[in-house]
Structure 1
Amino acid sequence: MVFIEMDDGRALTTAAAKGNTTEVQRILEERRVHPDTLNQFGRTALQVMMMGNSKIARLLLENGAQPNIQDRHGIAPVHDAARTGFLDTLEVLVEHGASVNIPDQSGALPIHIAIREGHRDVVEFLAPRSDLKHTNISGQTAMDVAQASRVPDMIDLLFAYIHC
C-alpha cells in the first residue's frame, strides 16, 4: 500500500512540476489520488508545481490541497510564488486560504521575498494583506528589506501602505 501511495504521489507531483494540467486532473479524478499525497522526497504537488501555472494550483486546491503546507525550511507555496513573481498563482493561493503572513525558517514573509526579488506587482498585491511590522530573524521589516535592496520604487510603494 505504501508503494502504491508513493507511486501515486510521484505521478501527481511529476505532472504538476511539468505543468501538465490534463495529467494532474486525470490522476486526481481517475486514480482518486489526494492532492496532498507525498512523493518520494516528501513533497506535495502544490509544493513542486510549476508556479507559472495557476490552473494547476486552482485544480489542486479545489480538490483539497492544503494551501499553507510548509517544507522543512518553512517554505510554503506562497513563498515560492512570491520568489518567482507569479502573481496569478499567488492570487489563487490566497483565494483558497493561503496565509501571506506565514514566515519561513528565516522569518521571512512572502512580501520580504518579493521585495528582494524586485516583483513590484506581487509586492502591490501583498502589501495591504501583509503584516508590514513583522520582522525576520535578522530583525528586518518589509521596509528594511526594501531599503537594503535599494529599489526606490519598492520603498515608495511600501511607504504608501505603512502610512495609510
Structure 2
Amino acid sequence: MNEKIEGKVWKFGDNVDTDVIIPGRYLRTFSLDDLAAHVMEGVDPDFSGNVQKGDIIVADWNFGCGSSREQAPVAIKHAGVSAIVAKSFARIFYRNAINIGLPVIVADINAEKGDILKIDMEKGIIENQSTNETFKIEPFKKFMLDILKDGGLVNHYLKLKEE
C-alpha cells in the first residue's frame, strides 16, 4: 500500500451491505479468487469482470453494513480495489478493512463512475482528475498508515515483533 493512490472510480449508493458485496452462497469457499469473482455481484453483476487493479470504490452512506463477514473487504481487496471512499462506513466493516490493509476513507466527494481519483492519505487530499476538484480529508495518522503499508494488522504486528 502506498500513501498515494490513483485509480478509476466505481460508484455505489447508500447502504451497500455485506450480502451484496459478497453473497452468502459464496462464503463456503476459501479461495480468494472465487470470492473476488463474485464481489459486488449483488449490486453490479459486471463489477468483478471489469474492475482493474488500482480502481477505487466511491459510495454514499453506510458502506459495508449488514453482517460482519470478514470476506467482504477481503473479496474487494483481492479483486484489485486499492481504496474505498464513502460518506460513512459500518464500523465493523471499516475495522475489518483496515485489519487486512484495505484503505477506507470517510469523505463526501463528487465523483462518478469512470472518473480518475488521486488520493494522498498522508496529506489528506483527494483530487478528482476528471473534474479538477480537490477535496480535503482527515489525514491518516502515522500508526494507521503503518498498518496499511504493512498490508494489515497481522503483518504490522509481525514486523514490529521482528524489530
Output the TM-score relative to the length of structure 1: 0.38
Answer 1 or 2: which has greater helix percent: 1
Between the two structures, name the one with larger relative contact order (CA 8 Å, sep ≥ 6).
2
Answer 1 or 2: which has greater strand percent: 2
Output the TM-score relative to the length of structure 2: 0.38
Largest Rg, 1 or 2: 1
